Amino acid sequence: MKKSTKKNQWQSYNLPNHLGYFGEYGGQFVAETLMPALNELEAAYKKIRSDSHFKKEFKRLLKDYVGRPSPLYEAARLSQKLGHRIFLKREDLNHTGAHKVNNTLGQILLALKMGKKRIIAETGAGQHGVATATMCARFGLSCEVYMGAEDVQRQAPNVFRMKLLGAKVIAVHSGTATLKDAMNEALRDWISNVSNTYYCIGTVAGPHPYPMMVRDFQKIIGEETKQQILKSMNRLPDYVMACVGGGSNAMGMFYPFIKDTQVKLMGVEAAGYGIRSGKHAAAIVGGRLGVLHGQKSYLLQDAEGQIIPTHSISAGLDYPGVGPELSYLADQGRVQIVSATDKEALEGFEMLSHLEGIIPALESSHSLGYLKKYAKKLKKNSVIVLNLSGRGDKDLNTVAKLQKISL
Ligand X SMILES: *Cc1c(COP(=O)(O)O)cnc(C)c1O
Catalytic residues: 100, 122, 389
Residue with Cβ nearer ligand X (120 or 204): 204
Q: Rg for the chain (alpha carbons), in Å?
A: 20
How many other CB atoms are found less than 10 A from the CB of residue 302?
10
Minimum CB separation of residue 192 from ligand X in Å reads 27
For residue 326, give the 3-state DSSP assignment: helix
Answer whether 99's CB lies under 8 Å from 218's CB: yes
Site membership for ligand X, residue 248 (CB under 6 A): yes
Contacts of 31 (CB under 8 A, 6+ apart): 191
E-only strand ranges, 208-294:
239-243, 264-272, 288-292
Site membership for ligand X, residue 247 (CB under 6 A): yes
Q: How far apart are CA 203 and CA 189, in angstroms?
A: 18
Minimum CB separation of residue 195 from ligand X in Å reads 29
Question: What's the full length of the chain, in residues?
Answer: 407
Site membership for ligand X, residue 316 (CB under 6 A): yes
Site membership for ligand X, residue 286 (CB under 6 A): no
Smallest CA-to-CA distance from 28 within 328, 294, 324, 211 is with 294
Site membership for ligand X, residue 158 (CB under 6 A): no
What does the per-residue mask of binding to ligand X show for 112-141, with x meaning CB under 6 A?
Answer: ---------------x--------------
Q: Which of 243, 263, 265, 270 binds ligand X (CB under 6 A)?
A: 243
Residue with Cβ nearer ligand X (96 or 197): 96
For residue 293, give the 3-state DSSP assignment: coil
Cβ burial of 184 (10 Å; 0-12, 13-18, 19+) is: middle
Minimum CB separation of residue 27 from ligand X in Å reads 19
Residue with Cβ nearer ligand X (112 or 371): 371
Site membership for ligand X, residue 215 (CB under 6 A): no
Residue with Cβ nearer ligand X (35 or 396): 396
> Which residue sits closest to ligand X, CB atoms considered?
390
Residue with Cβ nearer ligand X (194 or 298): 298
Q: How far apart are CA 297 and CA 207, in angstroms?
A: 11
The piece of 60-68, 111-119, 157-165, 247-255 that touches ligand X (CB under 6 A) is 247-255
In this structure, what are the phi and psi dihedrals at residue 111, rounded to the nearest 5 degrees?
Answer: -60, -40
Smallest CA-to-CA distance from 315 within 56, 115, 166, 126 is with 126
Site membership for ligand X, residue 246 (CB under 6 A): yes
Minimum CB separation of residue 248 from ligand X in Å reads 3
Q: Which of 70, 79, 203, 367 binds ligand X (CB under 6 A)?
A: 203
| Dihedral over Cα of 51, 54, 57, 59: its sign | negative
For residue 332, give the 3-state DSSP assignment: coil
Q: How far apart are CA 284 and CA 258, in angstroms?
A: 19
Residue with Cβ nearer ligand X (104 or 203): 203
Q: Which of 349, 363, 372, 398 binds ligand X (CB under 6 A)?
A: 363
Q: Which of residues 173-202 bind ligand X (CB under 6 A)?
A: none
Answer whether 371's CB lies under 8 Å from 364's CB: no
The piece of 24-32, 173-181, 285-293, 360-368 that touches ligand X (CB under 6 A) is 360-368
Q: Which of 129, 222, 237, 245 binds ligand X (CB under 6 A)?
A: 245
Which residues in this chain contact ligand X in the complex, by CB under 6 A?
Answer: 98, 100, 127, 203, 243-250, 316-317, 361, 363-364, 389-390
